[in-house]
């Protein structure tokens, strides 16, 4: 089944994080694994987000951001380590949901319906 419904809009996310890493006390052939976590904030800005020609979201909000990381390091010298790492950032608005709605929604309540289709 082909997806032929156009979607559009602009999305911008700017985030700042404080991260911490822990080296796992294990080494194999000079390689040491590490894990980490981060906490911060993300500014999410959505402009004119549409799907199938129907407007969905518009607005901006600052939300809490989290990330978890894992990596593998190799000691080049006594105080120098080359590390390859991967992270998975996540933003959440759970803590602010009661204070105000996250974004203005223009949905009519019917998935995929066109405006003025009578669907409520």
**Which tokens belong to 14?**
């700017």
Domain 7-95 maps to which CATH number in 2.60.40.1170, 2.40.160.20, 3.30.70.20, 3.40.190.10? 2.40.160.20
Q: What is the DSSP letter of 114?
A: P
pLDDT at 95: 44
Q: Which residues in 24-118 belong to E strands, given as ranges?
A: 31-51, 54-77, 80-92, 104-105
How many angstroms from the chain centroid is the CA of residue 104?
A: 19
Q: Model confidence at 108, in pLDDT bands (50, 70, 90)?
A: very low
Quick one: pLDDT band at residue 97, thresholds 50, 70, 90?
A: very low
Domain definitions of the chain by residue range: 7-95
Q: pTM score, two decimals? A: 0.54
- Please state the rounded mean pLDDT for residues 68-88: 90
Mean pLDDT for the stretch of residues 28-39? 92
Q: CA distances (Å), 14 to each of 3, 46, 73, 93, in order?
A: 30, 12, 28, 15
- Percent of the chain exceeding pLDDT 70 equals 72
Q: Say if residue 91's pLDDT is above 90.
A: no
């Amino acid at each position: 089944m082909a997806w032929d419904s156009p979607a559009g809009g602009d999305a911008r996310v700017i985030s700042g994080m404080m991260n911490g890493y822990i080296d796992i006390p294990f080494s194999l052939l000079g390689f040491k694994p590490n894990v980490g976590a981060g906490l911060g904030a993300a500014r999410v800005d959505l402009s004119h987000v549409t799907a199938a020609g129907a407007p969905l979201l518009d607005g901006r909000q600052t939300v809490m951001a989290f990330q978890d990381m894992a990596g593998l390091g190799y000691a080049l010298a006594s105080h120098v380590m080359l590390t390859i790492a991967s992270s998975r950032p996540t933003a959440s608005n759970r803590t602010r949901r009661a204070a105000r709605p996250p974004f203005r929604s223009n949905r009519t309540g019917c998935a995929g319906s066109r405006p003025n289709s009578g669907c409520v």
